[in-house]
Structure formats: structure tokens, C-alpha cells
């Protein structure tokens, strides 16, 4: 997990696939911090001993070890929150940890692409540098990544027609440009790209909504997420993950609406 | 535009007004990326080929080329969003592109000054370094910039009296300090500074509101923007520009309120 | 105060507890700017003369000198806003100024720890580097900081039972994990840590709520703040401080709710 500290970070960012050099880096890393990539447990201890304890007891041994949401999904949620809110200071460490936990380079790449639309273009663009660094260190190449124009997943024509009509009637009088791009770029293209499963794309989207306080947009996307396979238990633990990473207030503000969506589907 | 990639960025940030050296930089720039200032098209291709395609097709050849809102205004909106939300990683590139598109140094300077009050002091302060860098490279000097205390535009006494009374009655019981500063610093000073037109000041303000999710403040400022000359078509395309740059959810959350303002004025 | 410019910043960040070298740094600092830590008055003058004037007249000689909220509290509010919103570019300068104004290293450390939960983990983590730098320069050591597991303040059993029941009934159906962590980690641990007074912890929390636009969470925490000793005058000037630092729109959106809390307690 991303909070595991300097040792992991140093090993991973030095990684060139050479096991010997990685082992050597690991040996020295145990006594070195890497402030450029992450506040290590040592750094936390030095300035905020309470925070260091919470990180160890309530994050590393607590939240991240809980059932209800797979570690790989916790990484997806955490990464989506960080990229979507432009928090890049320790992003290489979080990216390394996410890849170690089983997210593929293609999934991470698509997550950033998806967030360009759901969290703003420049937040995605600001993740490109860290992504380059991490992919280069791991030897990720073009064939590991999604194509620019892959074969798209099939479109659910009925659901898309209903969505399009709702958006047209709500927003058409304000901005036909937004309405058109919503259909053409988002729902008839982005959402159909195959390298991030619709369920994961929904999880990323719901995370972006909670993380940016956009509660009004939750009902549509949470419903879609559950249609795409997200379970109630996973929704609950996603909120728990976000309480720690996006902060309690945003989760408390979102949970009544989340609760209404869950209740309506029971 | 800001997303045009490394070649433009390198030429512009190397710019010292010397055409020969700029041309030389341009020649080499076509094969170099400049990760310090902007993710180039090459960098995007390397880590997120889909995002690179969207940038080319839907931003560069799509959004930025659309009618309804002048390119200069699209830069003003984009810049206001980035400065107002503290997204400084590629800000020098966006600033260069905005100046190339016709925004004057004085307008850019006033935009940052205006955002200190509408997006928080430190977001404006965080743009000062990039601004220094870009202005220095272009030889912008004191006489190109607004005076500290210029002759102010005339005050609309009746409108200001109505605004002051509304703010006093709504907020006076909570904070007379806020009420007083709103009148003295904002509406009897900042808004009357002549180096950014009231219509542009309103466009910057509405952008800051959508970008930070402050929907409740939209009716007053959008009405003021249209009183100041912003057209319905421009409002619609501002929302479209912000869908891409501030993200879809913030625009979707704002549009019902925007629609009510438009409808009430028809 | 944090906007006082380069001279203060340079002296402070060079500080090693050696009075002679500090005095020497001070002598040279009056003619040097330190763009790495803060936009100096000179830097502001160069790119935004109006902003420089507002900083001098309305912040330094205005807001920060006002009665109603102690300078030390204004620093606590400003710091909580900056850390909570991840604005780290000039954070070392703000930290230096806050310590000079009387906040203790232990209080600053606890403020960052508190914000991990109220503004998201990574915003707190992003302040660790600047905190290390400032604490090291001042020779702050482990005995100046809160213990990882100090003796906790006594718990108000009745108030906690009421809070727990309300949270269980509102959120239990959505995420029992969130409900459990709210009690165990936040209200039975974090809030009882003795190195930041409950009144200050509340001021930090209310600041985080206004700064992130989480208006729905204000009634509970503002009521608690006033139970913990925050006065009406201090609430009003906290809003004034945040108008400048978090921006007018967030304060205008919060003030109706703040007003309702104040009115209900009169």
C-alpha cells in the first residue's frame, strides 16, 4: 500500500528489472528516506508521531487489511482520488504500490484518461509525468497500454437513448455543445474503451464524485456502478477508503445520497 | 492552445523576442519534449494513447476550434480555472499560449489579482512565480502592467446600493468584517479597476464559481456577467470549455442553475 | 504574518538557533527575495501591482491587524486552510510565521494530524516535508512534539453516546466501517489528544469545512466549536480570514448556515 514508506518507494523507483540491483537498493533503503516520493514512516515520526501511529495502526494494519473491498480496488479508489484532486507529490509511490497490488499498466493508463473527463483535463495531465517515470522504470511499453482507438465494447442502445434524452432535456437549453460532447466523447467512446472494465470505470467515477463533493451526480453513477457489478459491501468500503483519503466531511456529505441509492435498489 | 505540446512550449518559454533564436529553438523542439512545462503529445502517447487522441481530436481540433466563444475567451476561462484551482504544473505553457492568443499581460495580471479574492489568496500567489517567468521571457515591464492604484471605472451607485443592502441583511449578523471588505475592497475597488473589462472580470468570476463548485453564488454573478455583455451563446460554450477543463461533474452540477438564470432573462 | 515577504522568510528558513548567523542573514535578507518559499512583495509588484497593494493595505495592515480574532488564531485558521487544501508552495513561510506568532510546534504537528482525517490523508502527508524543513531549522526535537499515544483527555460520555447514535442511525446502513472508525479513531482518540485544545481542534475543523465547501457538516462542528469556547466574534472574524484565504464564494456559501447556528444559540 501507498503509505508503506521509503524502503518500498526507493526499491520500486530504482527498479530496472535487475533483481540484484533491486536487492542492493533494498538493503540501503531501510536506513534512507526518500522525501521526493513519499513521507516515510521515519519522516512522519519526526514531525507528527500521532500521524505515524494512525498510519501504521489504522491505515496499514487497519483499513487496507479489511475485507469488503479487494486491495486492488482500494488502490484503484485511492489512485482515482489522488489523480482526480491533483495530489501529485507522492504519486509515483502510490502508482508503484498500485501496480504491485495487481492493477495493470493499461488499467492505470485508462484510469488517468477517464479522470481527464470526470476531474478535469489538467488533473489528468499532471499525472502524466509521474506515470512516465513509473512506466519507464518498469519497462512498460506501447504494447502494454491501450490502443488510441481500440475496438469498443458494445453499446447498450436503450440505456444510452434514455441517458441522452435526459441530458438533452435538462441541459440542451444551456449548452448544446456539452450535450453533444457528453454523448459523442463520453458515452459513445470513453465508456466503451475495453481496457478498464465498466465496473472499474464506474468505481473511478464515483470516487471522483465523492472526492470533489459533486453529490448531485452520485445517483446516476452509483446506480450505473451497481448495474456494472459493484456490490453493496464494496460501496460501503469504498466510502470507508475515501473517509481516510478524501477526508471525513466529503464522505459524510455523500453518504445520505449513497444510502438513498442503496435503499431504492433493495 | 495550451495542449499543443512540447514544440510550442519550448519555443515559447525560450522566447526572448529574438526571432532567430526562437526559430532555432523551434527546429530542435520538434524532437524534444519539455516535461517541466507541459506533457507533450509524445509524453501523452507514451503513457495514455487514448488521452493523446482525445487531446488532438476533441480538444485541439474540436473544442478550441468551435464557434460561440472566441479563442481569447477560451484562454481566459481556462487560465482562470487553472489559477483558481492551484494547478500550476504546466501553467507557464498555458500563460504563453494565452498571451499568444491575444490576452494582454495587463489582463492576465488583473485576472490573477481578481482570483485572489474569488479563489483564495494563495492560489493567486502560487501563480506569481510562473507569471514572473513568462513576463521576464517576453520583456514585459512595469508600464505594460496595471497601476497599483489606477483611476477607477465609474461606480453604478444604484446597483451597488442594492448589492450592499442585500449583503448587509444576509451576512451582517454573522460577520460585519466580511460585509465591509466586500464593499470596500471588492465592489468599490477591485471590480472598478480598468485593466480587465467588467465582462471579462465576470467571466473569470463565473469560471471560478463553476470550477470550485460554488453553485449558490452563480445567479448573482452570471446575471452580472450578462449585464456586462456576456451572451447566451458564450455562456453555453463557457460551460463546454469548463466541462473539459474543470470536469463534467462540476458543469453538470452548475447547469441547472445556469439554465434558470438564462430562462429568467429571456 | 505569512504575506510579509522575503525578508522574514529568509531569516527564518536559515535559522539554526544561532543568533549571530540569524542576524547576519537578516541583514542580507532585506535586499534578497526567496521565490522558492514565498512570493515577496517585490515579486508581487513585478507581475501584479494591484495584488501587491491589496496585500499591504488589506491583508498586512488590514485583516491581520483587526481585533476579534487573535493573530495566533488567524495563523491557525490560515495554516489549516492551506494544509487542508494541499497548497504547499509557500507553506514553509506560513509555518515559520505561525510559529513566530505563538503556535507551538506541538500544536502545528497536531493540526496536521487532525487534518489528515478532516481534509484527506495525502493533504496532511504533503505537509510533512515542509514541516520537517521548518522543525529542523529551529531545532525542534521529539520532546517538543506530541507523543504517539499520549494520555487522552476525558471523554464526555453523554455527548459521545448521542453523537454515536446519530451517526449509526444515519450512516450505519451505508458503511458500518465508516461508523466504527468515526467512533474509534476520531471521537475516542484523535479529538482527545491533549496537545491541541478542543477549541483549537474545532477551529481547525470548521476551517476545513468552509475551505472545502462542506457546508452540511458545519452545524455539528460549529456548535461543538462554540461549546468548546469559540466566541461569536471569533466566528465572524474566522469567516473574514477565510474570505481572503479560501476565497469569497466559499465564505458566502457557508455564512447562511453559520448564521443559523449563531441565531439558534442566542
Rounded to the nearest angstrom, the gap between the alpha carbon of residue B184 and the centroid of all alpha carbons in its chain is: 24
Assigned C-alpha cell, C246:
479560501
From the number of C-beta atoms within 10 Å of its C-beta (0-12, 13-18, 19+), residue B260 rates as middle
Question: Is residue C77 within 8 Å of C207, Cβ to Cβ?
Answer: yes
- How do residues C51-84 score in pLDDT, each as one tens digit? 999 999 999 999 999 999 999 999 999 999 999 9
* Span B164-217, pLDDT tens digits: 999 999 999 999 999 999 999 999 999 999 999 999 999 999 999 999 999 999
Q: Taking Cα atoms as reference points, which of C42, C130, C124, C146 lies closest to residue C92?
A: C130
CA distance C180 to C254: 29
pLDDT of residue B41: 84
Q: Which residue's entry shows cell 525578508?
A: C7
CB contact under 8 A, A214 and B249: yes
- Smallest CA–CA distance, residue A254 to chain C, in Å, is 10
User: Distance between alpha carbon A101 and the CA centroid of its chain, in Å?
Assistant: 13
Band (A209; pLDDT cuts 50, 70, 90): very high
Q: Which residues of A62-95 are buried (b: 16+ CB within 10 A; e: fewer)?
A: bbbeeebbebebbbbbbbbbbbbbbbbbbbbbbb
- Interface chains of chain B (3 or more CB pairs under 8 Å): A, C
Grid cell digits, residue B25: 529553438
Chain A contacts of C117, Cβ < 8 Å?
243-244, 247-248
Query: Nearest-CA distance from C230 to chain B in Å?
Result: 14
Residue pair A107/A78 in contact (Cβ under 8 Å)? The answer is no
Q: How high is the ipTM of this complex? A: 0.87
User: Is the minimum CB–CB distance between C146 and chain A shorter than 8 Å?
Assistant: yes
Are B125 and C213 an interchain contact pair (Cβ–Cβ within 8 Å)? no
How much is the pLDDT for B40? 82
Nearest to C243 among B110, B146, B178 (CB): B178
Average pLDDT over residues A132-149: 97
| Chain B residues with beta carbon closer than 8 angstroms to that of C249 | 118, 208-209, 212, 214, 217
pLDDT of C21? 38
Separation CA C14–CA C134 (nearest Å): 9
Task: Map residue B245 onto helix, strand or coil.
Answer: helix
Cβ-defined contact of B43 to A186 (cutoff 8 Å):
no
* A residues 164-203 lying closer than 8 A (beta carbon) to B: 170-171, 173-178, 181-182, 185-186, 190, 193
Nearest CA in chain C to B120: C247
- B79 touching A, CB under 8 A? no
Closest by Cβ to B49, choosing from A125, A146, A214:
A146
Q: Which residue of A has its CA nearest to C148?
A: A50
DSSP state of A192: G
* SS3 (DSSP) at A155: coil
| Mean model confidence pLDDT for chain B | 88
What is the largest distance, in Å, between two alpha-carbon atoms of chain C? Answer: 63
For chain A, give the percent of residues with pLDDT over 90: 84
Nearest CA-CA distance, residue A252 and chain C, Å: 8
Which residue in chain B has the smallest CA separation from C251? B178
Contact state of A252 with C216 under an 8 Å Cβ cutoff: yes
pLDDT at B38: 61
8 Å CB contact of B53 and A149: yes
By the 10 Å C-beta count (0-12 exposed, 13-18 middle, 19+ buried), B256 is classed as middle
The closest alpha carbon to A2, from A69, A79, A65, belongs to A79
* Alpha-carbon span C259 to C257, nearest angstrom: 5
Q: Is C260 on the interface with B (CB under 8 A)?
A: no
pLDDT of residue A27: 34
- Judge: B122–C82 Cβ closer than 8 Å, yes or no: yes
In the predicted model, what is the mean pLDDT of residues A203-220?
98
Would the pLDDT of B130 be above 80? Answer: yes
Below-50 pLDDT ranges, chain C: 1-37
Distance from CA of B34 to the nearest CA of A (A): 11
| Dihedral sign from CA coordinates of C236, C242, C247, C252 | negative
Q: Which of A110-114, B19-23, B158-162, B229-233 has the lowest mean pLDDT?
A: B19-23
pLDDT over threshold 70, residue A31: no
Q: What is the pTM of this model?
A: 0.88
Q: What's the pLDDT score for residue B234?
A: 98
Contacts A240 to C, Cβ<8 Å:
175, 177-178, 181
Instruction: Select from A149, A178, A196, A207 the residue whose CB has the most chain B CBs within 10 Å, as the one to mutate to test that interface.
Output: A178
Q: What is the mean pLDDT of residues B250-261?
A: 98
**pLDDT recorded at residue B39:** 76
Q: Is residue A55 within 8 Å of residue A3, measured between CB atoms?
A: yes
The predicted pLDDT at position A4 comes to 36
**CB proximity list for A115: less than 8 A, separation 6 or greater:** A80, A83, A84, A123, A124, A127, A204, A208
Looking at the predicted structure, is the pLDDT value of residue A17 above 70?
no
Better-predicted residue by pLDDT, A170 or A19: A170
Nearest to C193 among A39, A50, A90 (CB): A50
Burial of C207 (0-12, 13-18, 19+ CB in 10 A): buried
Residue C2 neighbours by CB under 8 Å, 6+ apart:
C38, C75, C78, C90, C93, C94, C97, C98
A155 lies within 8 A of chain B by CB: no
What pLDDT does residue A39 have?
A: 76
Interchain pair B118, C247: CB under 8 A: yes
Residue that the C-alpha cell 483519503 belongs to: A245
H-state helical runs in chain C: 6-14, 19-29, 41-47, 49-54, 71-84, 91-100, 105-118, 121-125, 128-137, 157-171, 176-181, 198-211, 218-227, 232-245, 248-265
Secondary structure (3-state) at C116: helix
Of chain B, the percentage scoring pLDDT greater than 70 comes to 86
Apex A40 CA angle, A35 and A46, nearest 5: 95
pLDDT of residue A41: 84
Residues 6+ apart with CB under 8 A from B71: B1, B64, B101, B102
Reported as a single tens digit per residue, the pLDDT across A94-113 is 999 999 999 999 999 999 99
Is B121 near chain C, with CB under 8 Å? Answer: yes
> Which pLDDT score, from 0 to 100, does residue C242 have?
98
Q: Check CB contact of C50 with chain B, cutoff 8 Å.
A: yes
Cβ contact (<8 Å) for A109 and B81? no
3-state helix, strand, coil in chain B (%, to 5): 70, 0, 30
Residue ranges of domains in chain C: 1-65, 154-192
Q: What is the pLDDT of residues B36-87, one digit of tens each?
A: 336 788 899 999 999 999 999 999 999 999 999 999 999 999 999 999 999 9
B145 to C47: CB separation less than 8 angstroms, yes or no = yes
Question: Do the Cβ atoms of A49 and C86 come within 8 Å?
Answer: no
- pLDDT tens-digit map of A41-67: 889 999 999 999 999 999 999 999 999
Determine the residue of chain B that is closest to A86 in CA distance: B87
Shortest CB distance from B117 goes to which of C247, C255, C258? Answer: C247
Burial class (CB in 10 A: 0-12, 13-18, 19+), B220: middle
Does the structure show a pLDDT above 60 at A32? no
For residue C132, the 8-state DSSP code is H
pLDDT number for residue B140: 97
* Mean confidence (pLDDT) of chain A: 88
| Rounded average pLDDT over B221-226 | 98
Q: Comparing C-alpha atoms, which of A56, A140, A143, A52 is closest to residue A98?
A: A140
Amino acid at each position: 500500500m501507498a503509505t508503506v514508506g521509503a524502503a518500498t518507494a526507493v526499491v520500486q523507483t530504482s527498479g530496472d528489472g535487475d533483481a540484484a540491483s533491486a536487492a542492493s537498493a533494498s538493503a540501503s533503503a531501510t536506513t534512507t528516506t526518500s522525501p521526493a516520493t513519499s513521507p516515510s514512516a521515519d519522516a512522519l515520526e519526526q514531525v507528527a508521531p500521532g500521524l505515524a501511529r494512525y498510519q501504521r495502526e489504522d491505515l496499514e494494519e487497519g483499513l487496507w487489511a479489511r475485507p469488503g473491498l479487494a486491495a486492488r480496488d482500494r488502490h484503484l479508489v485511492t489512485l482515482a482520488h489522488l489523480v482526480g484532486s491533483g495530489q501529485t507529490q507522492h504519486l509515483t509511490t502510490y502508482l508503484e504500490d498500485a501496480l504491485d497490488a495487481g492493477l495493470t499498466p493499461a488499467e492505470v493508463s485508462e484510469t488517468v484518461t477517464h479522470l481527464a473527463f470526470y476531474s478535469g483535463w489538467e488533473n489528468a495531465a499532471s499525472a502524466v509525468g509521474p506515470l512516465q517515470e513509473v512506466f519507464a522504470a518498469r519497462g512498460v511499453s506501447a504494447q502494454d497500454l491501450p490502443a488510441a482507438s481500440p475496438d469498443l465494447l458494445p453499446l447498450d442502445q436503450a440505456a444510452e437513448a434514455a441517458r441522452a434524452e435526459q441530458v438533452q432535456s435538462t441541459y440542451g437549453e444551456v449548452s448544446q455543445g456539452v450535450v453533444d460532447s457528453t454523448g459523442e466523447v463520453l458515452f459513445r467512446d470513453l465508456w466503451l474503451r475495453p481496457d478498464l472494465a465498466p465496473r472499474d470505470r464506474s468505481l473511478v467515477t464515483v470516487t471522483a464524485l465523492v472526492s470533489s463533493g459533486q453529490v448531485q451526480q452520485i445517483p446516476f453513477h452509483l446506480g450505473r456502478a451497481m448495474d456494472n457489478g459493484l456490490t453493496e459491501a464494496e460501496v460501503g468500503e469504498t466510502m470507508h477508503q475515501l473517509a481516510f483519503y478524501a477526508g471525513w466531511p466529503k464522505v459524510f456529505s455523500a453518504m445520505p445520497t449513497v444510502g438513498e441509492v442503496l435503499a431504492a435498489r433493495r
